[in-house]
Structure 1
Amino acid sequence: MPPRVLDEQSFLAREQLIIDAALIVIEREGIENLTIDKVVDLVPFSKGTVYKHFSGKEDVILAINNQAIVILCDLFERVAKFDACPRERMLLLNFAYLIYSILHPVLFTVDLCARSPSVIEKCGQDRIDKQDAMQTHLMFTIGSIIMEGIEQGYLVLPESIDVQQICFSNWSMGYGIISLLSKHVETCEGRAGLSVELELFNNNNLLLDGLGWLPLSKDRDYKSAMFKDFDLVFSEELKALKALGRDLRF
């Protein structure tokens, strides 16, 4: 009897089951302990079937990260389309990233591992191309807000800095603050008493004030604006945060 050929929808549904099982393993044991055997133990099909979808655990990790980028793109696109001045939306981007990290902590931790050469070199080219395309789209979304700030006269780029560098500065600052102030990081004197929301807000204003991006923080009440914007842009996410017993406050 010939093997049953799955239609595309069934094939993708089976692939999602594999990804979901891998996420369970990562949540329980950490990404460093992910193996295909552990994934197989959690799904209703054989190792051979798993290998029809993924070349190895690295390929699974990249697939997980691709799904993570889809979620992040949706949050960032909502911010980019929101009716507010460009600087206000740059602030909102950082809070979109924070919301994502709280609601999807496993996906947040997978990101850096998924970008490492040791993972990428073992993945299928289609998945690599998909990740590259989505990351480009993500950076374009951030860059479009910066370009609006320039075009509308709110920001004049310093001679030695371009849009890509501002995108990188904003991302690295947000990632660093969220990672260092995460509840999963061991407490030390350097972070004692610090709030992730407040430090995101303060450090973003330090960066944007340093660039001379108008309106400067001394001339606009961005804190009040943020709390109004959260309800308008992230209403469903705020409900999910509340269900976890978490609010955005600073």
Structure 2
Amino acid sequence: MAPKVLDGYALKAREQDIIDATIALIDKHGVENITMDKVVAAVSYSKGTVYKHFLGKEDLILAIGNQAITIMHDLFSRAAMYDGCPRERMLLLNISYLIYAILHPALFKSVMCAKSPTVYGKSSECRMKEQEQLEAKIMGVTFGIIEDAQSKGQLTIPAHMDIQQVSFATWAQNYGTISLLSSEVYQCSGSTGLAVERELVNSSNLLFDGLAWAPLSKDRNYAQSVELALQKVFPSELALLKSMGREFSFAEQHKS
């Protein structure tokens, strides 16, 4: 009997099965402990079939990284289309990054690994090209919000900086805050009493106020604004978080 020939849809579905199984392994054992043998043992396909889809572990990790960026791009794009001022939309985008991290902790933890030179050096050209295209799209979302703020006269980028640097500063403070304070990812010592969603708003406001991005936090209650925006833009994600026992609270705790 001749081997069954799969169409493009079936091949893509099989590839996604392998990716999903690997994400589950990462969630359980960590990305550093992933091997192709473990992946093969976790799926119903032969080693040869798995290697038809992926050159090796590195190529598979890059594929997972591309899936992560695709999910982030969807969330970021929805935040960017919110009917609010540019600063509100950027803050909503920052919170959507937290939503992504909570709902997809394995992806959040492994995406940086996908940027490793060793991963790139052993991955297929088509997958590397795909990541470049995806990253350009996701950067375009943040650049668009910043450019809108500039065009409205609400933000003047310092002379020694450009849009890319402002975008990077925003991403860096988001990544750091989420990495250190989100219990779904990791929690540092000394974080007692700190809620990641509140501190994400606080750190964003510190950065944006420092850039004199209007309206300033003294002129608008951004915690209240983002809470309203989340209900409008991400109701299904909030419902999913609630089903996990996770609800955001942006109200500041009064300390004695």
1:44-83 alignment, distance < 5 Å: 44-83=44-83
- Residue 186 of structure 1 deviates from its aligned partner by 5.0
Partner of 1:219: helix, strand, or coil? coil
**Residue 120 (structure 2) pairs with residue 115 (structure 1):** no
In 1, the alpha carbon distance for the partners of 2:205 and 2:144 equals 19
- Partner residue of 2:236? 236
Alpha-carbon shift at residue 222 of structure 1 (Å): 1.2
TM-score using structure 2 length: 0.95
- The residue that corresponds to 1:145 in the other structure is 145
Task: Structure 2 unaligned segments of length 5 or more: list them.
Answer: 251-256
Distance 2:108 2:240 in 1: 17
1:37-186 equivalences under 5 Å are 37-183=37-183, 184-186=185-187
For the residues of structure 2 that align with 1:148 and 1:203, how far apart are their CA atoms?
22
1:224 has 2:227 as partner:
no
1:14 equivalent to 2:14? Answer yes
Contact 2:87–2:149 (Cα < 8 Å) also in 1: yes
> Displacement, 1:70?
0.9
Cross-structure match for 2:205: 205
Which stretches of structure 1, 4 residues or longer, exceed 3 Å deviation after superposition?
none
Total equivalences in the alignment: 249
Q: Which moved more, 1:64-73 or 1:1-10?
A: 1-10
Counterpart in the other structure of 2:189: 188
Alignment deviations for residues 56-107 of structure 1 (CA, whole Å, 9 cap, x no partner): 0111111111111111101111111111000011111110000000011111
Helix, strand or coil: the match of 2:186?
A: coil
Aligned residue type for 1:23: I
Q: Give 5+ residue unaligned stretches, structure 1.
A: none
Structure 1 equivalent of residue 254 of structure 2: none
Cα displacement (A) at 1:187: 3.9
What is the SS of the residue equivalent to 2:65? helix
Q: Per-residue deviation at 1:42?
A: 1.6
Letter paired with 1:185 = Y
Aligned letter for 2:186? V
Q: 2-side partners of 1:96 and 1:10: how far apart? A: 32
> How many Å separate the matches in 1 of 2:31 and 2:116?
13
Q: What TM-score, normalized to structure 1?
A: 0.97
Whether 2:26 is the aligned partner of 1:33: answer no
Is 2:181–2:187's contact at 8 Å kept on the other side of the alignment? Answer: no
Letter in 1 for 2:143: G
**1-side partners of 2:235 and 2:189: how far apart?**
34
Fraction of identical pairs, as percent:
51
CA distance in 2 between partners of 1:94 and 1:146 (Å) = 13
Distance 2:27 2:34 in 1: 10
Give the Cα separation in 1 of the matches to 2:77 and 2:189. Answer: 35
What is the alpha-carbon distance in structure 1 between the residues aligned to residue 129 and residue 92 of structure 2? Answer: 28
CA contact (8 A) 2:178 2:196 kept: yes
1:223 Cα shift?
1.5
State the alpha-carbon separation in 1 of the partners of residues 97 and 86 from structure 2: 17
C-alpha change, 1:145 and 1:71, in structure 2 (3 Å) is: same
Q: Residue 217 and residue 79 in structure 1: after superposition, are their counterparts in 2 closer, same or farther (change >3 A)?
A: same
CA deviation map 1:10-59 (0-9, x unaligned): 10111111111111211111111111111111211210010000000111
